């Protein structure tokens, strides 16, 4: 059964679809409309903002397309990888706060 259409009042802003950024346990970052099983959510919001902030702060792989959580490739233990992911998450939140101010 199809869901009923949502009617927006005239002049009301149309809600933007939410984009999630996430990273896999390998440190590789992805974007999508949901967080895949086994991945960790990093930041979510409108597509342009999420992609801009994450792309600016992520490490860029040699292929020029893949984004990686900074510190992941150097991590020797899962604790170090977790610390890198937490530091990256905090950096993203601070960047988002600055952008919204």
Q: How many CA atoms lie within 13 A of 94 on its CB side?
A: 8
Q: Is the model's pLDDT at 11 over the cut of 70? A: no
Distance of alpha carbon 99 from the chain centroid: 15
pLDDT in tens, 21-65: 999 999 999 999 999 999 999 999 999 999 999 999 999 999 999
Q: Domain tally for the chain?
A: 1
Q: Is residue 93 part of a domain?
A: yes
Confidence (pLDDT) at 44: 92
Domain encompassing residue 29: 18-100
Q: Is residue 5 part of a domain?
A: no
* Reported confidence tier of residue 89, pLDDT bands at 50, 70, 90: very high
Q: Is residue 24 part of a domain?
A: yes
In the predicted model, what is the mean pLDDT of the chain?
87
Confidence (pLDDT) at 62: 94
- What lies within 8 Å, CB to CB, of 25 at 6+ separation is 38, 40, 81
């Amino acid at each position: 059964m199809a869901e009923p259409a949502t009617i927006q009042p005239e002049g009301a802003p149309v809600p933007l679809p939410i984009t999630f950024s996430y990273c896999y346990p390998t440190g590789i970052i992805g974007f999508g409309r949901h967080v895949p099983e086994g991945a960790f959510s990093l930041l979510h919001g409108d597509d342009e903002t999420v992609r801009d902030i994450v792309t600016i702060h992520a490490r860029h792989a040699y292929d020029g397309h893949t984004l990686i959580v900074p510190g992941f490739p150097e991590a020797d233990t899962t604790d170090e990888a977790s610390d890198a992911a937490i530091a990256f998450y905090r950096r993203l939140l601070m960047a988002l706060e600055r952008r919204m101010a």
